[in-house]
């Protein structure tokens, strides 16, 4: 089960150096920020993507995957649970994982994430479904939907706020330039 990796300390870090994090104005900004993260990603890394339904987790993952060379739009792995990508499809091996449909953290063992992580980077949506099993060296990105500005048209805001909890393994790489 995930979690066997090193026990490095975590520290909360916003992207601006302030507790507010960074505002991603729309889908294009979320994809662009994913592109910036892609340049930092290495095999063995794990990025845990937290947020409610519609918060932008899959969009951020798509920005990462596109920049790593994926030519078609990455599907949400909600039904497949695991969507692996290998070179030459992507620059490095990546597993895009969506744990939304898991009901018990024990189900994760069947996915083989620990073994796959030895050679691939992991993008994990709904990591809270792992219970306490998320690797301690995972970069934790939290996406929240921003309130609709007063006077704007009715509907869901397209803006998202991203904050990060950065483990020691990511400190020299974070935030992305």
Q: What confidence tens digit (pLDDT) does each residue in 79-138 have?
A: 899 999 999 999 999 999 999 998 888 888 889 898 999 999 999 999 999 888 899 999
Predicted confidence at residue 147, as pLDDT, reads 81
Report the pLDDT value the prediction gives residue 158, as an integer from 0 to 100.
81
* pLDDT tens profile 16-61: 443 568 999 999 999 999 999 999 999 999 999 999 999 999 999 9
Is the pLDDT score of 168 beyond 50?
yes
Of 10-14, 31-35, 73-77, 172-176, give the lowest mean pLDDT range.
10-14
* List of long-range contacts for 103-110, beta carbons under 8 Å, 24+ apart: 105/1, 105/129, 105/130, 105/131, 105/132, 105/133, 106/1, 108/1, 108/2, 108/133, 109/1
**Sorting pLDDT into bands at 50, 70 and 90, what band is 152?**
low
Residue 43: is it exposed, middle or buried by C-beta count within 10 angstroms (0-12/13-18/19+)? Answer: middle
What is the CATH superfamily name and number for domain 44-133? P-loop containing nucleotide triphosphate hydrolases (3.40.50.300)
Q: At what angle do helices 27-38 and 57-67 cross, to 10 degrees?
A: 50
- Give the residue carrying structure tokens 């519609």: 54
Structure token pair of residue 60 = 């951020």
The total of other beta-carbon atoms located within 10 Å of residue 29's CB is: 19
Contact 9, 167 (CB under 8 A): yes
Highest mean pLDDT among 58-72, 106-120, 136-150: 58-72
pLDDT reported for residue 46: 97
Select from 72, 61, 68, 70 the least CA-distant residue to 33: 61
pTM of the model: 0.85
Tokens 């998320």 locate to 134
Structure tokens at 82: 């695991």
């Amino acid at each position: 089960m995930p979690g066997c990796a090193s026990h490095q300390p975590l520290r909360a870090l916003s992207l601006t150096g302030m507790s507010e994090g960074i505002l991603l104005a729309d889908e294009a900004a979320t994809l662009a920020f994913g592109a910036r993260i892609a340049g930092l990603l290495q095999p063995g890394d794990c990025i845990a993507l937290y947020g409610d339904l519609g918060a932008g987790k899959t969009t951020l993952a798509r920005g990462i995957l596109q920049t790593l060379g994926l030519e078609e739009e990455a599907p949400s792995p909600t039904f497949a649970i695991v969507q692996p990508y290998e070179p030459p499809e992507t620059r490095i091996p990546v597993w895009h994982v969506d744990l939304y449909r898991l009901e018990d953290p024990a189900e994760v063992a069947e996915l083989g994430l620990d073994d796959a992580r030895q050679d691939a980077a992991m993008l994990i949506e709904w990591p809270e479904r792992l219970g306490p099993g998320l690797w301690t060296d995972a970069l934790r990105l939290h996406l929240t939907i921003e309130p609709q500005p007063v006077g704007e048209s009715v509907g869901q805001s397209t803006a998202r706020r991203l904050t990060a909890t950065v483990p020691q393994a990511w400190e020299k790489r974070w935030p992305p330039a």
